[in-house]
Amino acid sequence: MCGIVGYIGPRDATPIILQGLKRLEYRGYDSAGVAVLQNGHIEVRRDAGKLSRLTKLVEEKPLSGHIGIGHTRWATHGEPNARNAHPHIGMTGEVVVVHNGIVENFLELREELAAEGAEFHSDTDTETIVHLVERLMGAQQGLEQAAMQTFHRLKGHQSVVLLSSREPDKIVAARLGNAGGVVIGFGEDEMFVASDLPAILEHTREVVFLENGEMAIVTREGVRLQTLDGAPIERAPQTVPWDPVAAEKGEYRHFMQKEIHEQVRSLTDTIAGRVDFEAGRVYLPQLNLTPELARRIKRIVITACGTAYHAGLVGKYLIEHIARLPVEVDVASELRYRDPIIDEDTVLLAISQSGETADTLAAMAEGRTRGATLWAVVNVIGSQAMRVADGYISMQTGPEIGVASTKAYTAPLVDLYMLAILLADLRGILDEQERRRLVAALRLVPDLAGQALEREPEVEAAARSLLETKHCLYLGRGINMPTAYEGALKLKEISYIHAEGYPAGEMKHGPIALIDRDMPVVVIATQDRWYEKMLSQIEQVKSRGGPVVAVATEGDEMIASLADHVLWVPETPWMLSPVVNVIPLQMLAYHIAALLGLDVDQPRNLAKSVTVE
């Protein structure tokens, strides 16, 4: 999770920026840097590693001035090292930029710029931004115009903040999509820019948030907001609460809603530094997976609880389909009581956001006793599950505060997809073309998730229609059967409405007896190999008077004619569809619970990490 801090005003920018970055460092990063306009020139200090190294660098080579920007980076393109750390400065030394997210079309931009003589000094996608702005300013465009035209060229979800020594009285910022926010803070004759409120809360509580597709021109006197086409935007500053917890929610009412919307960023970050899109390869170094081990493994037993268990069910489909390895998935609280068949040719793969769930840790201990290799997919760095495992994959979503897990469900789905590719590759059963195809699909995921998130208003409307319901059935098939389970868990744990996820094919073996007008059915019916069967499922429910809420592929007129509410999602490669299809179900549960006025972030009887058996 990258962090951005900017300052313009009468004080020295350097300590303000460094302190702001420090307030964001819990989000996780692997390098940091700061740029300040000093005596008319842009000075940059940046390094891999923690902020303490950057602070030392600044002590050794001080820089000071009244305008500057800083950044903590989680590598997406290019190794986490000094040359790839932000801020990035161009060839003229007159423009400097920091950036969150991914420039999806950076390769074509890089080729275009290099053909015109641009010299690149990093492996990052970010550097294309500064060269684009420089090229336009070279053509006598002002900073605002050059930035605006540059923003129009960038594909994907990002936040961009930049400044130029040629126009030393302003900072330009933009929010392009959902790769995290941009907040502008109002001070006394000074202004602040940040990716997250905690970075500037000690200086001001008067802020405005940028929306998707907006840019800000920040001077000491204030800020001018406009669309990317230059149309002015009027937005009064809002006063945020002092309470850092409340401030951390930023523009959202609850952490759960914020974390649902953070999924473009968390999916970007869980892919970050692990995929070489040019080579079509995946790297999971912390797993310690050798070709020998990959070939020796006879089966994988995935074990987890709750939402993590549902992620494991999707993992079974992915690993068996791609790597042709037998996988079984077991609820952690059951595994150790069934005398499981686990030996030294078994991998026991635990999935746990907290890495501290007692049942999951106990299952890992059972696996260890029986000689298995232990792997863990975890979110909390340094957690017990991570420490006892022989190898791990970190979800890299940043802290998940809401008890109902959202971004820590979608990130492991992508991690398991990458694991399946790596296993297949090392076991020699994946030809290069298929490997490249599977890897290329990863690049789409953050944007597809962003498209699903943009449908929130329609999901909220569907939520309003379900406020009176007492029961709800969720049906899914194939790789989206676990999506039905997860959607039902989301609803029941935060709205206290009874909800049950079921394999759609099982309806005729019992649950169909439940269907009447008081039993709404949520159906995952996106266009995949199971689509036709899901259509008939919907017709069976409708013919018995059951209301239907369908998750469907955008433009599907057939579903639109059948369902009472449609939760649209973009067309998605089927193996990654559980990542996107669950998002409307997360939002559906959230809005029902929020509209019922319930404690969404801390539902009754639940804990974020169940450390007791």
Q: What is the rounded CA–CA span in Å between residue 564 and residue 521?
A: 10
Question: According to the binding rule CB under 6 A, does residue 389 interact with ligand AGP?
Answer: no
Q: Point out the catalytic residue in the list 2, 305, 490, 492.
A: 2
**Nearest distance in Å: CB 303, ligand AGP:** 10
Question: According to the binding rule CB under 6 A, does residue 38 interact with ligand AGP?
Answer: no
**Nearest distance in Å: CB 306, ligand AGP:** 2
- Asked if 453 and 178 count as a contact pair (C-beta separation under 8 A), the reply is yes
C-beta closer to ligand AGP: residue 268 or 352? 352
Other C-beta atoms closer than 10 Å to the C-beta of 309 total 23
C-beta closer to ligand AGP: residue 558 or 606? 606
**Nearest distance in Å: CB 3, ligand AGP:** 25
Q: Which secondary-structure segment (H or E) carries 461? A: helix 456-464
What is the DSSP secondary structure assignment for residue 285, as one 8-state letter?
G
Q: Which secondary-structure segment (H or E) carries 182? A: none
Query: Is residue 326 packed enough to be buried (19+ CB in 10 Å), middle (13-18) or exposed (0-12)?
Result: middle
Query: Is residue 107 packed enough to be buried (19+ CB in 10 Å), middle (13-18) or exposed (0-12)?
Result: middle
Runs of H (alpha helix) within 252-348: 255-261, 263-271, 291-296, 306-323, 332-335
608 is a catalytic site residue: yes
Q: What is the rounded CA–CA span in Å between residue 608 and residue 321?
A: 32
| Structural tokens at position 471 | 């029961």
Q: What is the rounded CA–CA span in Å between residue 187 and residue 222?
A: 9
Whose tokens are 């809420």? That residue is 549
C-beta closer to ligand AGP: residue 295 or 387? 387
- The β-bridge relationship of strands 214-219 and 171-176 is antiparallel
Name the residue among 379, 376, 388, 355 with its Cα closest to residue 301. 376
Size of the residue set binding ligand AGP (CB under 6 A): 15
**Nearest distance in Å: CB 351, ligand AGP:** 7
Question: According to the binding rule CB under 6 A, does residue 357 interact with ligand AGP?
Answer: yes
Whose tokens are 């902020």? That residue is 51
- 7 conformational bin, left if phi > 0, alpha if psi -120 to 50, beta if neither: beta
Question: According to the binding rule CB under 6 A, does residue 404 interact with ligand AGP?
Answer: yes
316 is a catalytic site residue: no
Question: According to the binding rule CB under 6 A, does residue 306 interact with ligand AGP?
Answer: yes
**Nearest distance in Å: CB 522, ligand AGP:** 17
The interface with ligand AGP within residues 94-133 (CB under 6 A) comprises none
Name the residue among 15, 14, 17 with its Cα closest to residue 5. 17
Q: Among the candidate windows 39-47, 305-313, 538-546, 586-594, which touches ligand AGP by CB under 6 A?
A: 305-313
Question: According to the binding rule CB under 6 A, does residue 270 interact with ligand AGP?
Answer: no
Type of residue at 99: H
Distances (CA, A) of 598 to 102, 235, 248: 36, 30, 20
- CA of residue 56 relative to chain centroid, distance: 31
Question: According to the binding rule CB under 6 A, does residue 398 interact with ligand AGP?
Answer: no
Helix (H, G, I), strand (E, B) or coil at 184: strand
**Nearest distance in Å: CB 495, ligand AGP:** 13
**Nearest distance in Å: CB 602, ligand AGP:** 11
C-beta closer to ligand AGP: residue 465 or 609? 609
Handedness of CA 254, 206, 210, 147 (dihedral sign): negative
Question: According to the binding rule CB under 6 A, does residue 78 interact with ligand AGP?
Answer: no
Contacts of 604 (CB under 8 A, 6+ apart): 496
Of 405, 483, 526, 572, which one interacts with ligand AGP (CB under 6 A)? 405
**Nearest distance in Å: CB 356, ligand AGP:** 7
Q: Among the candidate windows 187-195, 403-411, 424-432, 524-532, which touches ligand AGP by CB under 6 A?
A: 403-411
Question: According to the binding rule CB under 6 A, does residue 342 interact with ligand AGP?
Answer: no
- Asked if 255 and 417 count as a contact pair (C-beta separation under 8 A), the reply is no
Type of residue at 188: E
Q: How many residues in total does the chain contain?
A: 613
Question: According to the binding rule CB under 6 A, does residue 250 interact with ligand AGP?
Answer: no
Question: According to the binding rule CB under 6 A, does residue 462 interact with ligand AGP?
Answer: no
C-beta closer to ligand AGP: residue 507 or 594? 594
The binding track of 581-610 with respect to ligand AGP, each residue x by CB under 6 A or -, is ----------------------------xx
**Nearest distance in Å: CB 304, ligand AGP:** 6
Of 308, 342, 347, 363, which one interacts with ligand AGP (CB under 6 A)? 308
C-beta closer to ligand AGP: residue 94 or 400? 400
C-beta closer to ligand AGP: residue 166 or 498? 498
Q: What is the rounded CA–CA span in Å between residue 580 and residue 442?
A: 12
Question: According to the binding rule CB under 6 A, does residue 204 interact with ligand AGP?
Answer: no
- Asked if 78 and 28 count as a contact pair (C-beta separation under 8 A), the reply is no
Question: According to the binding rule CB under 6 A, does residue 403 interact with ligand AGP?
Answer: yes
**Nearest distance in Å: CB 289, ligand AGP:** 22
- Asked if 423 and 325 count as a contact pair (C-beta separation under 8 A), the reply is yes
Q: Among the candidate windows 205-213, 349-357, 505-513, 584-592, which touches ligand AGP by CB under 6 A?
A: 349-357
C-beta closer to ligand AGP: residue 115 or 612? 612
Question: According to the binding rule CB under 6 A, does residue 305 interact with ligand AGP?
Answer: yes
- 503 conformational bin, left if phi > 0, alpha if psi -120 to 50, beta if neither: beta
Q: Among the candidate windows 283-291, 399-407, 475-483, 538-546, which touches ligand AGP by CB under 6 A?
A: 399-407
Q: Among the candidate windows 204-212, 306-314, 477-485, 533-541, which touches ligand AGP by CB under 6 A?
A: 306-314
Question: According to the binding rule CB under 6 A, does residue 410 interact with ligand AGP?
Answer: no
Question: According to the binding rule CB under 6 A, does residue 63 interact with ligand AGP?
Answer: no
The interface with ligand AGP within residues 475-514 (CB under 6 A) comprises 493
Q: Which secondary-structure segment (H or E) carries 524? A: strand 521-524
Q: What is the rounded CA–CA span in Å between residue 158 and residue 126?
A: 10
**Residues that bind ligand AGP in the complex, under the rule CB under 6 A:** 305-308, 352-354, 357, 360, 403-405, 493, 609-610
Active site residues: 2, 608
